[in-house]
Amino acid sequence: MTKSYLTLSCIDMTFGQGASANPVLKGIDLAVAQGEFITLIGHSGCGKSTVLNIVAGLLKASAGGVILDGREVDQPGPDRAVVFQNHSLLPWLTVYQNVEIAVGKIFRDTKTAAERRDWVLRNLEMVHMEHALHRLPSEISGGMKQRVGIARALAMQPKVLLLDEPFGALDALTRAHLQDEVIRIQAALGNTVLMITHDVDEAVLLSDRVVMMTNGPAATVGQIMQVDLPRPRDRIALAEDKTYNHCRQEILSFLYEKQRKVESIARGAKAAGVAKAAAA
């Protein structure tokens, strides 16, 4: 059995207290191997971003916890880099400076100034942004901004790369190009990746496993699907691939059929409980 590199164990998350308490997550368990690409998918409001923020150390779980490479996650750290849907670049800094600021903070004591400069350039070259080093975020497209955000995250050499719907705000063609870039980069670097998406095709194309979450409140892991497709992956070739289409259908079935059954059972159990209490 492959050793777990990132472990989410018995995670509960409740916002608020007393009558206003909102149970968002219940009993989230997930073991991720080093180098795996895992995608969380589910309907809006099911707590996907909450899971990601707990792994990032931006939120503290109400119960349970996260272990990364043998150490408990209890605060943000450079071993977990986040790329958000909105690029989060500093608008007054150039493309080069937006990556340089992260590299300077993390490698100030371990790399010389020349090594840091080479490292910034190497990561910008990896996302094909070396031609725009001196441009401000306002002078480049949305897709380019996301490339810079990815370069900044990779430049931190994180143990886990966290992607929170990184392509959600982009047009379809730009989204496809960036998906291909992520496939190429992940193949070259072997990053451990945890990504959130609403896009079924994106989940199957990029992932080793897809984690399907139930609807809230008290959302949990409903099903985990292995994506047994060889790498590198070609989106054109996969369009007619039986395994690819089976995986798509399995996710769609969970999201739009199995999920309704789960909700129906939950409503029935709740109604039975109310009736029993009334009879007593």
The predicted-structure confidence for 76-90, as pLDDT tens digits, reads as follows 999 999 998 887 899
Has residue 54 got a pLDDT over 80?
Answer: yes
Rounded distance between C-alpha atoms, residue 14 and residue 53, angstroms: 14
Give the three-class secondary structure for 124: helix
- Determine the Cα–Cα distance for residues 38 and 43; give it in Å rounded to an integer: 17
Task: Locate the domains of the chain by residue range.
Answer: 4-79+194-279
pLDDT at 280: 56
pLDDT of residue 276: 55
Say what the pLDDT of residue 262 is.
Answer: 54
Name the band, by pLDDT with cuts 50, 70 and 90, for residue 10.
very high
Q: Is 195 left (phi over 0), alpha (psi -120 to 50) or beta?
A: beta
Whether the CB-CB separation of 166 and 84 falls below 8 Å is answered with yes
Q: How far is CA 48 from the centre of its chain?
A: 8
φ, ψ dihedrals at 97, nearest 5°: -65, -30
Fold of 4-79+194-279: Rossmann fold (3.40.50)
Q: What is the pLDDT of residues 135-181, one digit of tens each?
A: 999 999 999 999 999 999 999 999 999 999 988 878 889 899 899 99
Residue 12: strand pairing partners: 63
Inform me whether the pLDDT recorded for 274 exceeds 80: no
Entry field: residues in the chain: 280
